[in-house]
Homo-oligomer: A and B are copies of this chain.
Amino acid sequence: MTEAAGSEAGNITVELELVAEVVSQQLESMLSVGNYDAVKLLLKPVQPVDIAEAIGNLPTNLQALAFRFLGKDEAISVYEYLDSATQQSLLRLLRSGEMREVVEEMSPDDRARLLEELPAKVVRQLLSELSPEERRVTAQLLGYEAETAGRLMTTEYIALKENQTAAMALEIVRRRARDTETIYSLYVTDAERCLTGILSLRDLVTADLNARIGDVMTGDVLSVATDTDQEKVARTIQRYDFLAVPVVDSEQRLVGIVTVDDVIDVIEQEATRDLYAAGAVQAGDDDDYFTSNLFTVARRRIVWLSVLVVASFFTSEVIAANEAVLKQVVLLAAFIPLLGGTGGNVGAQSSTVVIRGLSTQSISVLKPLQAVLREAMAGALLGVLMTIVVLPFAWWRGGGALVGVSVGISLLAITTLAATAGAAFPLLFDRMGLDPALMSTPFITTCTDVAGTLIYLKTAQWLLLNLPQLGQAAGISTQFLAASAF
């Protein structure tokens, strides 16, 4: 976690997203002409994350050259921010001695992420070069499941003892400040390394120097387990405005902490996932859509598209099966897309608010049945409002009362049904322990399409048979229909 410093390229204020681009261009031209003093001057005020992006933008042959200009501490920070392709190519290009030190001193969580991406052979090689302690920590982190607190956490934290004084604790903080991820949350453990309390550096600096840590700390500690899902870890830190949350194993021993900066990335990642699900795109591990090749892109989209196309086959079946009524009143076809589309849109709205509500937990003010009922009522209300506009249009465009009334009646039924289904399916999935976002908007849209088309055509058929006077304006004979109906 960086704390508080900043960069502007020179004295010119550059738009945030352009800093790395500008640095990268200057870096490339300086390196090509061998103006190495300028490189050092250029990089001095730039933030590690921007240097990492700038190096990532360089041609491969210049990346290693640029990386060598960084001081030791800076090289480590920059390396942590590099994308995994550049990390790997630096590992190949630079002498293993140079890289060993960088890998040894990386944050354990960033190192675990790096090793995950590497071929097994390279991992074994790298692990064998680490000090026994770092090797142990890395192997431990790699042992936890992806997307859990165990994988997200860092093992670099400051643990104090209850019988230490505030003065002793401050001295420990001072000594460990450089090589630990955060010094702002401090943890108190007993002889078995079990977590017994927590205090902030704020508590410590305001405490009397002779006070016992056991008296200053807070004993009621909220912690997460190593196998807690990363989304839940993120919600905990977000809800309580923590800077970090401790991670304990099954025996309540403190094994690591998750810091707020990692949590922001998790929240962003989960939001991307929800959005992609809403758009029927399969999310990747990283937000790497724009850097992956066309076939990966197609693969991440074709699965959902195929499912939806097959679902559409049912709509085709419904229409084909009701060919008779369409033959009688071809203009009925003109409103199939409108009805399917409106049903889909209402269903999409309902599933969107419910899925997001489940994700942010804002839906918890309602019981599931209440939420579904509320959506059903909202759907009916929206249906009434839209019928006021759509019925006259359909009457006019459809050449008479038959089409108008069929569209009006089915619009009401479809919006109510769509809103109910849009709310109920994600809630059902959630209840069954599945990801509610799987009940994505496009899926609900497509289901609504099938049901809506069926309701519409059956309504029209029924009206033609039972209230034939409605069809008279359109000059429709009901004889053929009567023979083929139902």
Q: Is A346 an interface residue (CB 8 A)?
A: yes
A285-315 contact mask (Cβ, 8 Å, vs B): 1 or 0: 0011111001001100110111011101101
Assembled-state Cα–Cα distance A104/B137 (Å): 48
Given A338-B316, A362-B289, decide whether A243 and B240 contact each other with a Cβ distance below 8 A: no
Q: Which residue of B lies closest to A270 (CB)?
A: B271
Interface check A442, CB cutoff 8 A: yes
Secondary structure type dominating chain A contacts: helix
Instruction: Give the bracket for the number of chain A residues in contact with chain B.
Output: 35 or more
Contact (A272, B360) CB under 8 Å given A301-B382, A336-B337: yes
In the bound assembly, the distance between CA atoms of A441 and B17 in angstroms comes to 26
Q: Which residues between 315 and 335 of chain A lie within 8 Å of chain B, taking CB atoms?
A: 315-317, 319-320, 323, 326-327, 330-331, 333-335
Residue interface bits A375-405, CB-to-B below 8 A is 1, else 0: 0011001100110011001100110000000
Note all chain B residues with C-beta closer than 8 A to A355.
Answer: 275
- Known interface pairs A242-B4, A341-B308; A174-B205 also in contact (CB < 8 Å): yes
Would you call B365 and A338 a contact (CB within 8 A)? Answer: no
- Can you tell how many copies of this chain the complex includes? 2
A485 at the interface (CB under 8 A from B): no
Residue numbers in B under 8 Å from A345 (CB-CB): 280, 304-305, 308, 442
A87 contacts chain B at the CB level, 8 A cutoff: no
Chain B residue at smallest Cβ distance from A171: B205
Cβ of B337 and Cβ of A449 under 8 Å apart? yes
In this complex, what residue of B is CB-closest to A375?
B297
What residues of chain B lie closer than 8 Å to A45, measured between beta carbons? 220
Q: List the one stretch of A118-126, A141-149, A231-239, A458-466 in contact with chain B.
A: A231-239
Of the candidates B1, B221, B232, B319, the one whose C-beta lies within 8 Å of that of A334 is B319
Q: Which of B240, B271, B312, B378 contacts A301 (CB 8 A)?
A: B378
Q: Would you call A159 an interface residue if the criterion is a C-beta within 8 Å of the partner chain's C-beta atoms?
A: no
Give the residue name and chain of the B residue nearest to A338 (CB): B312
Q: Which of A5-13, A28-36, A62-70, A427-435 contacts B (4 or more CB under 8 A)?
A: A5-13
A116 within 8 A of B: no
Q: Which residues of chain B are near A378, meaning CB under 8 Å? A: 294, 297-298, 301
Please judge, given known A-B contacts A264-B238, A319-B333, whether A275 and B274 are in contact too, CB under 8 Å.
yes
List the B residue with the shortest CB-CB distance to A217: B5
User: For A203, what are the chain B residues with a Cβ–Cβ distance below 8 Å?
Assistant: 3
A170 & B205 in contact (Cβ 8 Å cutoff):
yes
A173's partner among B205, B222, B264, B316 (CB-CB below 8 A) is B205
Say yes or no: is A178 at the interface (Cβ < 8 Å to chain B): yes
Most B Cβ at <10 Å: residue of A174, A178, A202, A364: A202
Chain B residues near A289 (CB-CB < 8 A): 353, 357, 362
A161 at the interface (CB under 8 A from B): no
The distance in angstroms between the C-alpha atoms of A306 and B445, with both chains bound, is 17
A242, B453: Cβ atoms under 8 Å? no
A2 at the binding interface (Cβ < 8 Å): yes
A268 interface hit (Cβ, 8 Å): yes
Cα(A352)–Cα(B297), bound, Å:
13
Chain B residues within an 8 Å CB radius of A338: 309, 312-313, 315-316
Q: List 27 A-B contacts (CB under 8 A).
A: A2-B240, A2-B241, A3-B203, A4-B242, A45-B220, A47-B222, A184-B201, A260-B260, A267-B267, A275-B356, A276-B356, A279-B353, A281-B352, A294-B377, A301-B349, A301-B382, A312-B337, A312-B342, A315-B334, A316-B337, A316-B393, A316-B397, A319-B331, A333-B336, A340-B340, A348-B441, A441-B441
Q: Which 9 A-B pairs have the closest CB atoms?
A: A6-B222, A279-B352, A3-B200, A271-B271, A4-B185, A312-B338, A45-B220, A5-B218, A319-B334
Q: A3-B200, A5-B199, A275-B275 known; 18 other A-B pairs, CB under 8 Å?
A: A4-B186, A4-B198, A5-B220, A5-B222, A6-B245, A17-B361, A184-B201, A268-B360, A276-B352, A276-B353, A279-B352, A290-B362, A297-B378, A312-B337, A315-B337, A323-B331, A336-B336, A344-B445
